[in-house]
Amino acid sequence: MNYLIVYLLSVNLIAFIAYGIDKLKARRSCWRIPEATLIGLASIGGSVGAWMGMKIWHHKTKHKKFRYGIPAILLIHIALAILIYTNL
């Protein structure tokens, strides 16, 4: 269980930082992190970090796939956590 906590903290931190970097790159008109990568980080457990990155950095908030997709992924992760926790 400790490995799971370390993994989730790590992937959420990486997602949060990735959203910040992508916002900085967007402002500077530089190379960008692909949207598939940003959504992928959320999908593999970084949904909280992605959501926080969207809110704090004000990034990708106008894109429907992010505005609705990231919260949907977060809700799925919460449901899975509840399901796993109640079956232990």
Q: What is the pLDDT of residue 21?
A: 96
Give helix 47-57 / helix 69-86 axis angle, nearest 10°.
150
Q: How far is C-alpha 9 from the chain's CA centre? A: 11
Task: Find where tokens 């790159």 sit.
Answer: 25
Write out pLDDT tens, residues 37-69: 999 999 999 999 999 999 999 988 898 999 999
Position 1 pLDDT exceeds 80: no
pTM of the complete model: 0.91
Number of domains in the chain: 1
Q: In b/e form, how buried is each residue of 28-56, taking b as 16+ CB within 10 angstroms?
A: eeeeeeeeeebbebbbebbbbbbbbbbee
User: Residue 54's domain spans which residues?
Assistant: 2-86
Q: What is the pLDDT of residue 29?
A: 92
Mean pLDDT over each residue of the chain, to the nearest integer: 94
> Predicted confidence band at 20 (pLDDT cuts at 50, 70, 90)?
very high
